[in-house]
A = this chain, B = another copy of it.
Amino acid sequence: MSTNSALTFKISHTSQDSAARTGCLFTPHGVIRTPVFMPVGTQATVKAVKPQELEELGAEILLSNTYHLMLRPGEEIVAQAGGLHRFMAWEHPILTDSGGFQVMSLAALRRISDEGVAFRSHLSGEALFLSPERAIEIENALGADIIMALDECPPYPCSPTEARTSAERTLRWAQRSLRAHQRRADQALFGITQGSIYPEVRRFSAQETAALPFDGYAIGGLSVGEPKACFGPLLDETLPWLPGDKPRYVMGVGTPDLILEGVLRGVDMFDCVYPTRIARNGSAMSRYGRLNLRNARWEREFGPMDPECDCFVCRTFSAAYLHHLVVCKEILGAELLSYHNLYFLTHFMAELRKAIEADRLLLFAQAFLETYHQGLS
């Protein structure tokens, strides 16, 4: 058990058949059962889903993006509104990322130095600067329960030297983030490990970051375009070096197959825009993989889209109706599929927790992946 005033992590059960574990994260805004998937509310809203619906479908923590919120509405307005929880009307736990990933993927004209990142807003072109200290200052103002240290997330592909340089910089930034943090009493601070696809850099980054007194440890820079087959092996270079009694978080991963790979190795937290993004593209998550509701096969399917799902969407609407909404580009289609997808993933995580507690996660994973990769016949 790891505990401080802002965050207590209590492991409930460690699997006998893998490194998977279940646990509880106690935060100022409530308890999170792990392993957990965190829906992403980029601009202080999970796209097309109301906070009351997120509660209803079982979400226990949301992620929001420091980069987006610093641009709009600005952290000052969020702070004046009483903090991010009050601003977005979500009184349960929130995690904010540091902006490192978005600066690399969205912002224009980046110039990275040890001091920080100078960049231009992808919206207004305004010249801005993000340093480890500034990121923490913004996150302190936003007031999430868990905040992330600024990292440098190298693009894929990058050379071993670039990977090493950015991992070293991320480490120096980690130390500065720890010093800058002003709300230790009610905000936990996580460090981020990097290293691209290079095992030795991953290991170095994990070992050095683990030596710093963070409340939790994240694995960044995965799911950025590298081959899927790298995922497990790279986790194997990282996870063993992270403290077992602290939460471990793989950033930007939200498909059931990769989540399973992470959970089997002892990962506790995940986040991704995947469920809501594919929903807006007309796709549903299911045990049989991704279902494209735009497909004509659904035109006269008057039963539920996913007969095994008991979410309010599958209980209320036919697949034919969802197909119609998607074809007509109706907002309600995005709403209903986003709801279903987050419900699916939230309940998938609950199933994983049950399987871990029963020491049968390996069997569960095997059966699940067979159906999942086979698809709908």
Binding site for B on A (CB under 8 A): 43-45, 47-52, 72-73, 77, 80-82, 87-89, 299-300, 302, 312, 316-318, 320-321, 323-325, 327-328, 330-332, 334-336
Distance in angstroms between the alpha carbons of A321 and B41 in the assembled complex: 14
Interfacial chain B residues near A312, Cβ < 8 Å: 52
Q: Is B77 within 8 A of A299, CB to CB?
A: yes
B residues within 8 A CB of A330? 43, 45, 47
Q: Which residues of B contact A299 (CB under 8 A)?
A: 73, 77
CB–CB B331/A47 < 8 A: yes
Instruction: Please determine whether B72 and A327 come into contact, CB atoms closer than 8 angstroms.
Output: yes
Residues of B within 8 A of A335 (CB): 48, 50, 331, 335
Whether the pair B77, A332 counts as a contact (CB closer than 8 A) is no
21 A-B pairs, CB-CB below 8 angstroms? A43-B324, A43-B328, A44-B324, A47-B330, A47-B331, A50-B335, A50-B336, A52-B316, A72-B327, A72-B328, A73-B323, A73-B327, A77-B299, A77-B320, A80-B302, A87-B320, A87-B321, A87-B324, A88-B321, A89-B321, A331-B334
A81 to B321, CA, bound (A): 9
Residues of chain B with a CB closer than 8 A to A324's CB: 43-44, 72-73, 77, 87
Q: 10 closest Cβ contacts across the A-B interface?
A: A48-B331, A45-B332, A73-B324, A43-B328, A89-B316, A45-B330, A81-B302, A89-B317, A87-B321, A47-B331
A300 contacts across to B, CB distance below 8 A: 77, 80
Please indicate the chain B residues that have their CB under 8 angstroms from the CB of A52 in the complex.
312, 316
A302 B44 Cβ-Cβ under 8 A: no
How many copies the complex holds: the figure is: 2
B87, A318: Cβ atoms under 8 Å?
A: yes
- A160 vs B49: C-alpha distance when bound (angstroms): 51
Chain B residues within 8 Å of A77, by CB: 299-300, 320, 324
State how many angstroms separate the Cβ of A263 from the closest Cβ of chain B.
30
A19 to chain B, nearest CB (A): 38
Given contacts A47-B331, A77-B320, A81-B320, 10 further A-B contacts (CB under 8 A): A44-B321, A44-B324, A45-B332, A47-B330, A50-B335, A73-B323, A73-B324, A81-B321, A87-B320, A89-B317
User: With A302-B81, A325-B45 in contact, do A73 and B320 touch (Cβ < 8 Å)?
Assistant: yes
Q: Which residues of B contact A328 (CB under 8 A)?
A: 43, 72
- Least CB distance, A303 to chain B, in whole angstroms: 11
Give the docked Cα–Cα distance between A80 and B301 (Å): 10
CB proximity of A341 to chain B, nearest CB, Å: 14
Q: In the docked arrangement, what's the CA distance between A154 and B289, Å?
A: 51
A52 to B316, CA, bound (A): 10
For the complex, what is the distance from the CA of A73 to the CA of B322, rounded to whole Å?
11
Q: Which residues does chain B contribute within 8 Å of A73, judged by CB atoms?
A: 299, 320, 323-324, 327
Cβ A50 vs Cβ B332 within 8 A: yes
* Smallest CB gap from A48: residue in B: B331
Q: What is the distance, in angstroms, from A183's C-beta to the closest C-beta of chain B?
A: 21
In the bound assembly, the distance between CA atoms of A136 and B123 in angstroms comes to 51
Instruction: Name the distance in Å between A162's Cβ and chain B's nearest Cβ.
Output: 33
Chain B residues with CB under 8 A of A317: 89
Q: Which residue of B lies closest to A47 (CB)?
A: B331
| Closest chain B CB from A143 CB (angstroms) | 15
- Name the CB-closest residue of B to A333: B45
User: Nearest Cβ distance between residue A329 and chain B, in whole angstroms?
Assistant: 9
- In the complex, the answer to whether B80 meets A332 with C-beta atoms within 8 Å is no
Inter-subunit contact A48/B332 (CB<8 Å): yes
